[in-house]
């Protein structure tokens, strides 16, 4: 134990915070690691471009090209980040035998066995996502909300297949599987009918959720979005749509908020406690939007800290499913992945080290300028000494060692891929 940790521990103890208890708790909180940062959301079931209003930008070399390379990179990220993790897999990451192929409406658990093997190796759960984009059956930009019945049927079948695969993940790992429904359905220009696509989307999701599953183990959620690239005028799955849908089907799904999916001055940190008043559980996609839903890697920045603070002080660590969702192709992808994961872990630790009870009391007693001063004081407590200790105990690099570790992997593994 470092002397810096010892002295920081005393400082926190004076504020009523038991750093030992915090470190013990933090390491049990799972964060879902998105497989799609490693290959720019490409997957293994198609050769076409990324569609659905999302975009990766940049041409940094060494992207993972095969399941083996992607898993190798994931294992590296796991090895250099502390704490509990889950894997987050998209349906387009189905792994087929040589010469085998089935379309997305026909995928089965066996196509994801290798993901289960990886998860078991690290005692992790798996979250899942049907892939309603980057596919020839996206017709005129629409999937589950398409007026074309054949198209809609195909995508409903895909959603149902994904429920069955989610159930397989939950059974194999013994850990609930969060299955997120997001589509990029929408229009570039002003639509003539806004309600029709939403009614069809509602019906489609209801049909998907009619596939039998145990809600204790399979946790479907509906992700909303304000707009996407090329889909600027109208999004079928808007904020109001997704929230209302989840509220109406509370016994079988929950809302998912992605903090890149709102107007720039809206903050998800404020929405978390609002939703927790009504929903037993909610899900998050944690990202960093820069001017648009750019999906930059998460940083230890103000809004990230604020989101974690809300989860912790609402005492909701077991009510909020936390998943990362960003994709940066402009820098070393492992660095982007791991910095994002560590940033969210830091944000949670930071939140757990804030004397929230004391601050809450000041608010309730109306001592607002004392609160103002003490909230600022809390920001400069010796957080980094606790974080370094957490990393040391987990056997992962501390901040000072981190770059060298990434650089070594780039030289020894990634650079050989070119
Ligand atoms: C897109 C959504 C969605 C995707 C992933 C790949 O804007 O955030 O969650 O990023 O499904
Ligand atoms: Zn998302």
Buried b (16+ CB within 10 A) or exposed e, 278-316: ebebbbbbbbbbeeebbbbbbbbeebbbbbbbbbbbbeb
What is the pLDDT at residue 2?
Answer: 83
The Cα 203–Cα 209 span in angstroms is 10
Ramachandran region, residue 332 (left: φ > 0; alpha: ψ -120 to 50; beta: rest): beta
Q: What sections of 15-66 are H helices per DSSP?
A: 19-26
Kindly give the distance from the C-alpha atom of residue 54 to the centroid of ligand 2, in angstroms, as a whole number.
10
The Cα 111–Cα 109 span in angstroms is 5
Q: What is the largest CA-CA distance in the chain?
A: 69
Q: For residue 275, give the H/E element and its range.
A: helix 268-276
Instruction: Supply 346's token pair.
Output: 């830091």
Mutate to test the pocket of ligand 1, among 37, 222, 223 (most ligand atoms within 8 A of CB): 223
Expressed in angstroms, the distance from the first to the final Cα of the chain is 42
pTM of the model: 0.98
Q: Which residues surround ligand 2, an ion (CB under 5 A)?
A: 258, 285, 325
What is the pLDDT at residue 27?
Answer: 98
The Cα 99–Cα 293 span in angstroms is 37
Closest ligand relative to 183 C-alpha: 1
Does residue 45 line the site of ligand 1, with CB under 6 A? no
The count of C-alpha atoms lying within 13 angstroms of the C-alpha of 387, restricted to the half-sphere facing its C-beta, is: 20
Does residue 262 line the site of ligand 1, with CB under 6 A? no
What is the pLDDT at residue 270?
Answer: 98
Atom of ligand 1 nearest to the CA of 41: 6
Atom of ligand 1 nearest to the CA of 225: 7
DSSP, collapsed to helix, strand or coil, labels residue 51 as: coil
Place of tokens 């920045």: 301
Residue nearest to atom 3 of ligand 1 (CA): 182
* DSSP string over 49-104: ---SS-------S----SHHHHHHHHHHHHHHS-S-EEEEEEGGG--PPTT----G
Question: For the chain, which residues score pLDDT lower than 50?
Answer: none
| CB-count exposure of residue 401 (10 Å: 0-12, 13-18, 19+) | middle
Kindly give the distance from the C-alpha atom of residue 323 to the centroid of ligand 1, in angstroms, as a whole number.
11
What is the pLDDT at residue 371?
Answer: 98
| CB-count exposure of residue 277 (10 Å: 0-12, 13-18, 19+) | exposed
The Cα 252–Cα 367 span in angstroms is 42
Query: What does residue 210 show for φ and ψ, rounded to 5 degrees?
Result: -80, -10
Is 28-352 assigned to CATH 3.20.20.150? yes
Atom of ligand 1 nearest to the CA of 129: 11
Ramachandran region, residue 227 (left: φ > 0; alpha: ψ -120 to 50; beta: rest): beta
Residue nearest to atom 10 of ligand 1 (CA): 325
Instruction: Supply 80's token pair.
Output: 């250099």
Does residue 182 line the site of ligand 1, with CB under 6 A? yes
Instruction: Supply 208's token pair.
Output: 């998907």
The Cα 71–Cα 106 span in angstroms is 24
User: For 107, which DSSP code?
Assistant: -
Among all residues, which ones are annotated catalytic? 182, 223, 225, 258, 261, 285, 293, 295, 325
């Amino acid at each position: 134990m470092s002397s810096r940790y010892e002295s920081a521990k005393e400082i926190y103890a004076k504020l009523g915070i038991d750093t030992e208890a915090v470190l013990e708790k933090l390491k049990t909180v799972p964060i879902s690691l998105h497989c799609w940062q490693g290959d720019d959301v490409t997957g293994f079931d198609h050769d076409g471009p990324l569609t659905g209003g999302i975009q990766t930008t940049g041409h940094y070399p060494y992207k993972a090209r095969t399941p083996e390379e992607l898993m190798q990179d994931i294992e590296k990220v796991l090895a250099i980040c502390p704490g509990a993790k889950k894997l987050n897999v998209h349906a387009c990451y189905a792994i087929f035998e040589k010469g085998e192929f089935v379309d997305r409406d026909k995928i089965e658990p066996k196509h994801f066995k290798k993901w289960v093997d990886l998860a078991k190796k690290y005692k992790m759960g798996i979250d899942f996502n049907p892939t309603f984009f980057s596919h020839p059956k996206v017709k005129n930009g629409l999937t589950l909300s398409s007026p074309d019945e054949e198209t809609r049927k195909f995508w409903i079948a895909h959603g149902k297949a994904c429920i069955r695969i989610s159930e397989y993940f939950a059974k194999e790992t013994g850990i609930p599987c969060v299955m997120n429904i997001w589509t990029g359905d929408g229009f570039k220009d002003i639509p003539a009918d806004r309600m029709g696509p939403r009614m069809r989307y509602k019906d489609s999701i209801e049909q998907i959720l009619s596939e039998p599953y145990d809600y204790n183990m399979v946790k479907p959620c509906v992700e909303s979005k304000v707009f996407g690239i090329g889909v600027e005028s109208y999004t079928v799955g808007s904020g109001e749509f997704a929230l209302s849908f989840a509220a109406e089907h509370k016994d079988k799904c929950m809302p998912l908020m992605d903090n890149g999916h709102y107007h720039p001055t809206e903050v998800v940190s404020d929405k978390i406690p609002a939703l927790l008043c009504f929903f037993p559980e909610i899900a998050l996609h944690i990202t960093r939007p820069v001017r648009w839903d750019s999906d930059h890697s998460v940083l230890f920045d103000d809004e990230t800290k604020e989101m974690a603070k809300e989860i912790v002080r609402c005492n909701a660590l077991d009510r909020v499913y936390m998943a990362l969702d960003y994709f940066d192709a402009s820098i070393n992808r492992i660095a982007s992945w791991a910095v994002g994961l560590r940033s969210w872990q830091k944000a949670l630790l930071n939140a757990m080290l804030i004397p929230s009870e004391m601050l809450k009391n000041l608010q309730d007693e109306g001592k607002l300028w004392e609160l103002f001063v003490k909230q600022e004081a809390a920001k400069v407590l010796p957080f980094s000494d606790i974080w370094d200790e957490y990393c040391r105990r987990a056997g992962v690099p501390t901040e000072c060692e981190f770059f060298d570790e990434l650089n070594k992997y780039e030289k020894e593994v990634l650079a050989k891929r070119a």
